[in-house]
Structure 1
Amino acid sequence: MVDFSLFDTRGYPTVDVRTGYAGWVDSYERTVEDAMDVDVLARLTAPRWDAAATAVDLGCGTGRTGAWLRARGVGAVDGVDLTPEMLARARERGAHRRLTEGDLAATGLDADSYDLAACSLVDEHLADLTPLYREAHRLVRPGGLFVLVGLHPLFIMSAGMPTHYDGPDGPVAITTHVHLVSDHVTAALGAGWQLAELREEVVGEQWIALKPKWERHRGRPVSAAYVWRKES
């Protein structure tokens, strides 16, 4: 892990994850772009989404990823999140079979219960990736997959921009950490995963159309998606 404070160009007041997402919940759906995560997931080739009878959505938030997985043919999706306010929105959405408030490092769910684990836009909030990779490995059946998508570390460093939202008194940052690609690989291999696919997306026309000010970031990596397989 690299200390994000070395790159922070915003200096926003910073809150912990639970506080931050509780404050962001009302505007979250309007501010998170599909290009950041689900559009990247859609371009992956290793997962056969409709072959997964069960999935666990780690850091499910308002249910965006869970709804996307169901639309792709996943049979049933259970969600876990730290923030009650986010879980309430996911419950309203109705995409999940079951929703649990809990820590992604220790969900309390049954071992070897899922064909697929998914985690979207979460890893930058974790001080240590190892517990997440270990818990996902515990939850997924042999032969199953863990798919993780998040901000690319080079984007976080080059943009100097933490995960943040507009609070009533101005921008509020949520605790952000920088994990290199090698940090993911080390944590995943140590937990017993095998790499099945790695995709890195750069800022291009899609992003410039959404955020014209990002022209200065053109060509820089913005998202990274990892597909890990549990040995049969």
Structure 2
Amino acid sequence: MIYEHPLAYLLGIEGAALLRAFTGEGDRRFVEERLAEVRRLLDDESLADLGTEVRRVGTVEGYGVWAGTYDDPGNAAFDIDRPVVAEILGGLAPGEALDAACGTGRYARDLVGRGHRVIGVDSSPDMLDRARASVPEAEFRLGDLHRLPVDGGAADVIVCALALTHVADLGPVMAEFARVLRPGGHLVISDVHPEAVARGSVPSVRDTDGRPARLATHRHPIGDYLRAALAAGLRLRRCEEPRPPAASHGASGEAGPWELWPWSLARMIPEAAGAANAGVPAMVVWHFQA
């Protein structure tokens, strides 16, 4: 069980901003304003009783709940990883492609459009139902990243998007990707950046009983991806760390409903949040080759 308290998050963001100021990214006025804001937050009685117990749920349960709204326009993550992934895929010849942890099939659809013969694999039956309806030209199979239901050496291209953050140990999954790739095949991964995870970028859902829940998420340092891939015999071709678009919202005086945390909390302290998050990547995109 996770205990989420908005005051704790706000103080954490203030602390991150002050740490950056300590090394020269903020002047005396900025530091004094942050300290004054911390005092104000501690005195704000409206924040005192908002702590919430949040369940941690696995991907099958979590994405089963999220499947119905996963493709809604509000899912801003798609616009962040798509340009880099599309650029990499645009340089690859059509062949046999695997969309690993395919979800509702957004990259399966893209791969089909690029002339690939596509198999999509996901552990969520609900997500697969939507993928089959959305991309009838592809084949979809129920399976897990640790035991992909695909023959060894079967894929020229593997795409795995926004999934490895839910995996505790990257090593076995990278080894499985290497097993499935043909010699010279390409692996393209996008994932939530560890710095974004550390700042609260963890998917939220209401479970079947309506209780707050977060999908089990792991913060993998950048080096962990590289070490796991190299150990599996994969060669690095490219790494990018796309950043989110600049925030355009103004200040807000309320924490908002739990579903909007941590984004609504950041709006309560826009100057501190802007300083704490300045230049922090939202995603990491990898291109490896067998």
For the criterion TM > 0.5, the same-fold answer is yes
Q: Residue 172 and residue 49 in structure 1: after superposition, are their counterparts in 2 closer, same or farther (change >3 A)?
A: farther
**Higher percent of residues as helix:** 2
Deviation at 1:194, TM superposition (A): 0.3
Name the residue aligned to 1:56.
98
Local SS of the residue matching 1:198: strand
Q: Tell me if 1:41 matches 2:90.
A: no
Q: Residue 74 and residue 93 in structure 1: after superposition, are their counterparts in 2 closer, same or farther (change >3 A)?
A: same
Aligned partner (choices 107, 112, 117) of residue 65 of structure 1: 107
Q: Tell me if 1:112 matches 2:162.
A: no
Q: Tell me if 1:203 matches 2:247.
A: no
Contact 2:194–2:219 (8 Å) recurs in 1: yes
Contact 1:36–1:150 (8 Å) recurs in 2: no
Deviation at 1:96, TM superposition (A): 4.9
1:1-232, aligned counterparts within 5 Å?
A: 9=9, 12-30=54-72, 31-33=74-76, 34-44=78-88, 47-48=89-90, 51-71=93-113, 73-157=114-198, 159-166=199-206, 169=210, 171-205=212-246, 208=248, 213=267, 216=274, 217-230=277-290
Q: For the residues of structure 1 that align with 2:186 and 2:216, how far apart are their CA atoms? A: 28
Q: For the residues of structure 2 that align with 1:70 and 1:39, how far apart are their CA atoms? A: 17
TM-score, length basis structure 1: 0.84
Contact 2:108–2:135 (8 Å) recurs in 1: no
What is the RMSD computed on CA atoms of the aligned residues? 2.6
Paired amino acid for 1:65: Y
TM-score, length basis structure 2: 0.69
Local SS of the residue matching 1:51: coil
Asked which structure has the greater RCO (Cα within 8 Å, sep 6+), the reply is: 1
Contact 1:202–1:218 (8 Å) recurs in 2: no
Structure 1 unaligned runs (5+)? Answer: none
More divergent stretch after superposition (125-134 vs 28-37): 28-37
CA offsets 1:129-155 (integer angstroms, 9 cap, x no match): 111111111111111100000110011
Paired amino acid for 2:106: R
Computing the radius of gyration from Cα coordinates, the structure with the larger value is 2
Contact 2:99–2:107 (8 Å) recurs in 1: yes
CA offsets 1:107-147 (integer angstroms, 9 cap, x no match): 13111111100100001100111111111111111111000
Paired amino acid for 2:96: T
